Amino acid sequence: MASAPDAQTTIIRPYISSDWRDCLSLFDGNVLRFFSTAERADFANFLDQDAGAWSYQVIERGNRVIACGGHALDAQGQTAYLCWGMVARELQGTGLGDMLTKARLRAAQNTPGVTQVRLDTSQHTQGFYRRFGFTVEKIVPDGYGPGLDRWDMLLCFCASE
């Protein structure tokens, strides 16, 4: 007989509009160290207008969204852009970022025609993405705001095949 799912079971699934508030809370918990306050309106706008149509995923545990992130494709369908990836601040360092990133890269790699993945992130997080094979293309000091540099990074699937 099948047993009921554990309340603490961790699942990954596509974003739905009712996740909006939880995702904004994840953003708020990461402001200052990882995001600037000026980006909040952009993220809210993204959730309103794009997340449902893009490949945007959430990790849920016990009916709570604890991480989110996804990707969009360029017009040619060759480049996937990772966007708005984040883990609940108090759960960072517990493997959720790894789970989320692998799921995002898998989704991108399984999309016919996609040969590379790009992202931009801060100096605090670039080391995390290097672990997945991303290399640095450009660094803009204070690119997101004072003290928050912008790092543009690239992962090419063709190089590893």
> What whole-number distance in Å separates Cα of residue 80 and Cα of residue 98?
18
* Closest distance to ligand COA from the beta carbon of 16 (Å): 21
**Please, what is the Cα angle at 34 between 28 and 39, to 5 degrees?**
60
User: Contact positions toward ligand COA, by CB under 6 A?
Assistant: 30, 34, 84-87, 92-98, 121-122, 124-125, 127-128, 131
Q: Which is nearer to ligand COA, 114 or 151 (CB)?
A: 151
Select 46 or 97, whichever has its Cβ closest to ligand COA. 97
How big is the chain, counted in residues?
161
Write down the least CB distance from residue 102 to ligand COA, Å. Answer: 9
Q: Give Dmax over CA atoms of the chain in angstroms.
A: 58
The C-alpha atoms of residue 87 and residue 124 are separated, in whole angstroms, by 14
| Residue number with CB closer to ligand COA (9 or 94) | 94
* Pairing outcome for strands 79-87 and 55-61: unpaired
Q: What whole-number distance in Å separates Cα of residue 134 and Cα of residue 145?
A: 23
Cβ proximity to ligand COA: between 78 and 94 the closer is 94
